[in-house]
Chains A and B, each alone.
Chain A
Amino acid sequence: MGCLVQKRDLMQFSHIPKTVALLSSLVLLVAVPWIASDYFVMMCIRVMYFGMLTLSLCFLAGELGVVSLMQASFFGISGYFIAILQTRYQIPFPIPPLVGIGVAVSFAALTGLLVIRARGIYFLMLTLVLGQLVWALASQWASVTRGDSGITDIFAPVIFGISTEKSKSAFYLFELFFFCGVIYFLAALKRSPFGLMLRGVRDSEGRMAMLGYPVSLLRYLAFIFAAFVASIGGVFFAYFTGLINPHSVSLTTNVETLLAGILGGIQTLFGAILGTAILKILDLVLSGITQRYLLIMGILFLITIMFAPKGAAGALKRLWDSVASRTLGSGGPVRGASDDPFYEDTK
Chain B
Amino acid sequence: MKRKNWVVAITVVFFFIGAAAGHAMAVDEIRIGTIGPTTGWATIFGQGCLNGIKLALDEYNNEFNGVPIKVFSEDTKADVEVMRTKLDTLKTRDNVHLIIGPSLGHEGMAAVDWGARNPEVPMLIGYSAPEDITMRKATDSVIRPGWTGAQVIFNFGQYCAKDLGYKKIIIVGQDYSYPWDQAAGFIRGFLENGGEKVERIWHPVEAVDFSSIMAKLMNMSKEYDAVLNNSGGAQVVGFFKQWKQFGLDKVYPQILGQANVPIVSMLSELGDSALGVYSSLHYYDGNPSEANRKFRESFKKKYGHYPDVIAVQGYDAVHVAFKAMKAINGQVDDPKKFITALRQVKMSVDESPRGPFYFDKYANPVQNIYIKKVVKKDGRLMNEAVKTYEEVSQFGPYADMADKYMAAPATTRDYPPGDKISYFKEIEKYFGKGYVEKLKKNNGWVD
Contact = CB atoms under 8 A, between A and B. Distances in A.
Chain A partners chain B: yes
Interface of A: 13-18, 21-22, 24-25, 28-29, 32, 35-40, 42-44, 46, 139-140, 142-143, 146-150, 152-153, 165, 237, 241-243, 245, 247-248, 252, 270, 274, 277, 281, 283-285, 287-288, 291, 293-294, 316-317, 320, 324, 328, 333, 337, 339-343
A14 B17 CA distance: 25
Please list the 10 inter-chain residue pairs (A to B) with the smallest Cβ-Cβ separation, ordered nearest first. A40-B18, A37-B22, A39-B22, A152-B113, A21-B4, A14-B2, A36-B18, A39-B92, A339-B1, A38-B92
A277 to B, nearest CB: 7
Contacts of A36: 15, 18-19, 22
Contact of B15 (A35, A241, A252, A320): A35
B7 interface: yes
Given A152-B137, A284-B89, A241 B84 contact: yes
Contacts of B254: none
Interface stretch (B102-110, B155-163, B315-323, B387-395): B102-110
A142 B177 contact: yes
Contacts of B105: 148-149
A152 B106 CA distance: 10
Given A140-B175, A288-B93, 7 more contacts: A17-B1, A32-B15, A142-B177, A147-B177, A147-B412, A148-B178, A150-B109
Chain B, interface size category, equals 35 or more
B293 interface: no
27 contacts: A14-B1, A14-B5, A21-B1, A25-B11, A28-B15, A32-B18, A37-B21, A37-B22, A40-B21, A42-B85, A42-B88, A142-B413, A147-B412, A149-B106, A150-B109, A241-B80, A242-B114, A245-B106, A288-B72, A288-B93, A316-B10, A317-B3, A324-B2, A328-B2, A333-B2, A339-B1, A339-B4
A284 B85 contact: yes
B18 A288 contact: no
A18 B8 CA distance: 11
B252 to A, nearest CB: 29
A69 B275 CA distance: 45
Interface string B342-353: 000000000000
Contacts of B23: 37
Contacts, number: 166
A150 B111 CA distance: 12
Contacts of B246: none
Given A25-B11, A287-B75, A243 B2 contact: no
Given A46-B85, A142-B413, A243-B84, A320 B19 contact: no
B113 A242 contact: yes
Interface string B15-48: 1011101110000000000000011000000000
B170 to A, nearest CB: 21
Contacts of A274: 10
Given A37-B18, A42-B92, A274-B10, A150 B80 contact: yes
Contact of B110 (A44, A150, A252): A150
B74 interface: yes
A37 B15 CA distance: 10
B73 interface: yes
A156 to B, nearest CB: 10
B6 interface: yes
Given A143-B412, A148-B177, A291-B38, A37 B5 contact: no
Given A139-B176, A294-B39, A241 B81 contact: yes
Interface string B67-106: 0000011110011111011101100110000000000011
Contacts of A44: 18
A22 B11 CA distance: 12
A8 B48 CA distance: 60
Given A37-B22, A40-B21, A333 B10 contact: no
B212 to A, nearest CB: 19
A255 to B, nearest CB: 12
Given A153-B113, A291-B38, A291-B73, A148 B176 contact: yes
Contacts of B5: 13-14, 16, 21
A149 B177 contact: yes
A148 B106 contact: yes
Contacts of A39: 18, 21-22, 88-89, 92-93
Contacts of A16: 5
B8 A28 contact: yes
Contacts of A139: 176
A152 B176 CA distance: 17
